[in-house]
Amino acid sequence: MWRFRQFLGSVMSLSVWSVLFTSQTDLFGYNRSEMISYIFVAALLQGLILASALHGLAQRIYSGEISTLLLKPISLFSYFAVEEIADKARNVFFTIIESGILIVLFQPQIILPPSEVFALFLLWALGGVLLNFLFSLLFGTLGFWSPETWGPKFLFFIFVDFSAGKLFPLNILPDWLQSILFFTPFPYLTFMQTQLFLGKIPVDEIAFHSTILLIWIILFTIANKYLWQKGLRSYAAQGQ
């Protein structure tokens, strides 16, 4: 049902933008082919980057379920990584099927980047996957101290829908709001990857954005290491 919801979201976005471009050739700095390409790429990245098997991690910690993993001779984070890879493989599989259906329905002209840009796009997408994995681990640490974990996670979902560029390109927003969003890591979960794919990032800014993405990954890695060590020291495995 979650996949079906994502599919309906893509249908809605494609329908709305297709109607808007019937009377205009350019809108918010995008032509029809660019906007349709944006929606398709964003939908693919949503299955690759934003889908996660770790949404219930905090509850698994608070309920004591995670204690069975801690007692096994395996790396806890490697186990989470394998869960994440399996979940993303499933989501990408269904995203490809959904994209095929959308292509048949809307018959879009999708813009493809040069091979060297596409290689960098894949690298940035991998960086987005790692960044979202770190986000999920960070929210999981809430389970060490509180049973109320769904509320913060739900608010995070809502904010990501807006700030990662899932629903629309962020550069159609007012400049002051864009400036605020770019002080956060969220545009690097979908929006920046799509801009690179469409060739809308100047060549002289690519190294800068690559560095910013790497910095966010390092910062969240450090935060996770600290909070997980602190949480595991006080972990009592309630309920087990």
Cα–Cα distance, 142 to 82 (Å, whole number): 22
Cα three-residue angle 178-184-187, rounded to 5 degrees: 65
How high is the pLDDT of residue 238? 63
Indicate the helix (H) or strand (E) that contains 26: strand 26-27
Q: Which helix (H) or strand (E) holds 31?
A: strand 30-31
Q: What is the pLDDT of residue 155?
A: 81
Is 78:209 a contact under the CB 8 Å cutoff?
A: no
Task: Give the ranges where the chain is alpha helix by DSSP (H).
Answer: 2-20, 32-45, 57-62, 67-70, 76-106, 115-140, 150-163, 175-181, 191-197, 203-233
Task: Give the length of the chain.
Answer: 240
Each residue of 30-51: pLDDT tens digit?
888 888 888 888 888 888 888 8
The per-residue pLDDT for 70 is: 84
Q: For position 205, what pLDDT does the model report? A: 92
For tokens 């995203």, the residue is 95
Q: Residue 239 has what pLDDT?
A: 57
pLDDT (0 to 100) of residue 221: 95
Instruction: Give residue 108's pLDDT.
Output: 79
Beta-bridged to residue 26, according to DSSP, are: 31
> pLDDT digit string (tens) for 139-164?
888 888 877 777 777 787 788 878 88
Which positions of the chain have pLDDT values less than 50? none
